[in-house]
């Protein structure tokens, strides 16, 4: 399971105006971004427990984080190494798709702490043109639900004996 890290542009909760005024973001995504940015910089947000800060459930908040990434306010890459799934997820109050166009010196004017993770994310965004690399949360959930239905159908058809005659 991956943890989410924030990329702060300051030491206090101040969001860039563009994130707050972006009509493409839902209020849930904006609230999730605000809450993530309100936490201390060293706090690693675990996607499975972050929902404890909200009235919404786990899947709802995972969806909000996914929305932020898909709209450019983050980066997610899922990798599979040695039988384990690892992922990096970053969220920011500025669009990383815009930041990817900046060189490292220009980037430091916006972001006070340019980390290796951020540089990696921006490099991958430049290479792929994508902010989300891997399977989307909702897609994965739907696949699991379909697999359960298929298995349930298989169990039903195995227990039925069509050759049996009822008299």
Q: What is the pLDDT of residue 47?
A: 75
**Can you tell me the distance from the alpha carbon of 111 to that of 9, in angstroms, rounded to the nearest whole number?**
5
**Which of 50, 138, 135, 141 minimizes the C-alpha distance to 91?**
50
**Can you tell me the distance from the alpha carbon of 55 to that of 163, in angstroms, rounded to the nearest whole number?**
53
**In what side-by-side order are the strands of the sheet with 84-92?**
45-46, 3-7, 84-92, 74-81, 132-133
Domain boundaries, the chain: 3-134
DSSP 40: -
Per-residue pLDDT in tens (0 to 9) along the chain, 167 residues: 567 766 666 666 777 788 888 999 999 999 999 888 888 777 788 777 788 888 888 888 888 989 998 998 888 888 776 666 677 788 888 787 776 666 666 666 666 666 777 777 888 888 888 878 776 665 666 677 778 888 877 776 555 555 555 55
**Structure pTM?**
0.65
């Amino acid at each position: 399971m991956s943890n989410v890290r924030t990329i702060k542009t300051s030491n206090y909760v101040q969001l860039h105006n563009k994130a707050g005024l972006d009509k493409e973001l839902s209020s849930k995504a904006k609230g999730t971004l605000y809450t993530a940015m309100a936490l201390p910089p060293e706090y690693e947000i675990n996607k499975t427990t972050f929902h404890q800060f909200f009235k919404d459930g786990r899947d709802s908040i995972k969806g909000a984080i996914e929305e932020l990434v898909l709209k450019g306010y983050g980066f997610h890459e899922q990798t599979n190494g040695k039988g384990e799934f690892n992922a990096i997820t970053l969220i920011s109050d500025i669009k990383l798709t815009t930041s990817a166009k900046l060189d490292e010196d220009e980037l430091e004017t916006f972001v006070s702490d340019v980390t290796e993770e951020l540089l990696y994310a921006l490099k991958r965004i430049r290479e792929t043109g994508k902010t989300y690399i891997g399977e989307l949360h909702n897609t994965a959930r739907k696949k699991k639900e379909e697999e359960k239905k298929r298995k349930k159908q298989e169990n039903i058809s195995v227990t039925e004996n069509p050759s049996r005659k009822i008299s």
